[in-house]
Amino acid sequence: MVKKMNDSKISKKDNIKLAVSIVLWISALILSAAARLLSSFAQWYSTHIYPLWVGSIGRLMGYFPFSVSEMLLYLLLIGSVIWIAGRIVRKTGRRSLYSGFLDLFLLAAVLCFLYVVNCGINYQRESFSSSSGIRTEEYSSEELEEACIWLTGEIAGLSGKVERGEDGGMELNIPAEENAVKAMKGLSQEYPELTGYFPKPKELVNSCILSIQNLTGVYSPFTIEANYNGDVQDYVIPFTACHELSHLRGFMQEQEANFIAFLACSKSGEDAFAYSGYLSGWIQCMNVLYKTDYDAWKEVRGTLSPEAEADLRLNREFWAKYDGAIAEVSNKVNDTYLKANGQKDGVKSYNRMVDLIVAYYHSEVR
């Protein structure tokens, strides 16, 4: 009699897990389809509903001094090993295996649903360039060269003002987290579409996780956190922190997050942040100029300040340690992910910030 009651209880629990999983999968599918088919829905959601999650879940996660998503990853890995080992040792039967499968099915459903509501829908929203009025147009190599010369000049004016270590690299002597939030809040006064709550970005405890994937930062839609790689060169950190915070305002397109980070850093009023923004933008713009007009690139390249040269050298040396199969696979996965979310250029979309910088320079700066 006792055995039958236990079996009945387990069966009811499994049915609940199956029902909840199906509801979450269907909800995620419907929301994704609505966002892709109805741009007005994606825009409404990203400006009215998503900010509620950032202001609640994101705020809650912000009370933890560490990356909750990173800790959950470790717990998931440990739990998976224990779960598999337990079933091997106990030689569980079909019902237990079925229940275990439902656990995995439910976990996948929860993660998929969280991804859609905290990230996926936002890919279909109105672009930052459209809402801000900074429109990209066809530009000549001469116009690109002019933007590169401007960036080079800004770097020259800042490279001697930032703190530097014995190796010549920039040292970030101000808190990255607080100043990244300050920079984004300051930019939101000029661009209202960025207005909202910004939790502090967090350095991963084990940044090597990102380094081996050739990543400087990552946005976690499961905990609504902006995480950054603390092992990279210091000049990269301010730009990365602001880039990830841009995602928390619903701007998921990588080229736009890059451009927002560029603006936030350059307008921050902090030399280290401004230097980070200008040098990061310079690298992207110069990469494009190299392909379009090598002679112009060579001429501009020769005028970069010696201090900035040290940062570029140290950055190359850092990433050279992580070149390999894992980085290549990670790059391909990221490329596929971006294309699946409507960024047809894949990882090349990161470089599309150049279009926005050139447009911004010729419309706002020159």
Summarize pLDDT for 170-202 with one digit per residue, the tens. Answer: 999 999 999 999 999 999 999 999 999 999 999
Contact 105, 21 (CB under 8 A): yes
Mean pLDDT of 41-57: 96
Contact 187, 264 (CB under 8 A): yes
Summarize pLDDT for 80-98 with one digit per residue, the tens. Answer: 888 777 766 665 556 667 7
Contact partners, residue 262, CB within 8 Å, separation at least 6: 239, 277, 278, 280, 281, 353, 357
Q: What is the amino acid identity at position 16? A: I
Q: Using pLDDT thresholds of 50, 70 and 90, give the confidence band for residue 340.
A: low
For residue 168, what is the DSSP state? Answer: S
Q: Using pLDDT thresholds of 50, 70 and 90, give the confidence band for residue 2.
A: very low
Angle (deg, nearest 10), helices 2-37 and 94-115: 30
Q: How many CB atoms lie within 10 A of CB 76?
A: 12
205 by DSSP, 3-state: which? Answer: coil
E strands, 277-365, in order:
none
Look at the pTM and tell me if it is higher than 0.85.
yes
Q: Which residue has the higher pLDDT, 93 or 254?
A: 254
- Residue 294 falls in which region: left (phi positive, over 0), alpha (psi -120 to 50) or beta: alpha
What CA–CA distance (Å, rounded) separates 70 from 74?
7
The label of the residue with tokens 């960025």 reads 194
Q: Using pLDDT thresholds of 50, 70 and 90, give the confidence band for residue 364.
A: confident
* pLDDT given at position 333: 63
User: Taking the C-alpha atoms of 252, 134, 331 and 346 in order, what is their torsion angle to the nearest 10 degrees?
Assistant: 90
The label of the residue with tokens 């579409």 reads 193
Mean per-residue pLDDT over the chain, rounded: 89
